[in-house]
């Protein structure tokens, strides 16, 4: 059984909340956003730790809560989307793409992390960067200037 540490500083009741696995140093930051919960950051280098942290967060926020993960930069997820041609399609067309196909979603590593942690990913949205962000070298990691977001609910 892992020990978790949640740092509780002077914060509003909507967060941000921080969960850290003391054994692996993996961490997750989340906060209340509009009608759901936004996962701001997941840091994990050890297999399975991301799922454990998502599971802990899902337990804390309760069942049937909307969860959003914006700015997915996990390399395997983006590589799978790139292989399907979806990243370049959105970048070239400059139009957002949204899909709910379970056959595609279940093959995305970040979706498996969320699902394994108790968040059922219902849809993925890909949209092009704004013109002013297109030349930012900090954001251009895989050559595709698009943002990937995932939406789901806790189970």
Length of the chain: 155
Residue 53 has what DSSP assignment?
H
pLDDT for the residue 145: 80
pLDDT along the chain (155 residues), means of 10: 48 80 89 92 87 94 94 88 93 93 94 94 90 59 79 96
- The domain ranges of the chain are 4-154
> Which pLDDT value is given to residue 8?
47
Taking the C-alpha atoms of residue 89 and residue 100, their distance in angstroms, rounded to an integer, is 17
d(CA 91, CA 133): 13
């Amino acid at each position: 059984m892992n020990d978790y540490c949640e740092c509780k500083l002077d914060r509003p009741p909507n967060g941000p909340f921080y969960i850290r696995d003391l054994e692996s140093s993996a961490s997750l930051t989340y906060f209340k956003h509009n009608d759901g919960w936004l996962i701001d950051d997941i840091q994990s280098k050890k297999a399975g730790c991301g799922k454990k942290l998502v599971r802990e967060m899902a337990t804390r926020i309760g069942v049937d809560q909307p969860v959003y993960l914006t700015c997915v930069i996990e390399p395997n997820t983006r590589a799978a989307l790139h292989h399907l041609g979806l990243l370049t399609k959105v970048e070239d067309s400059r139009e957002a793409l949204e899909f709910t196909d379970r056959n595609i979603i279940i093959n995305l590593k970040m979706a498996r992390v969320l699902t394994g942690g108790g968040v059922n990913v219902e849809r993925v949205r890909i949209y092009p960067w704004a013109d002013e962000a297109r030349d930012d070298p900090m954001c251009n990691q895989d050559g595709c200037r698009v943002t990937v977001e995932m939406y789901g609910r806790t189970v």
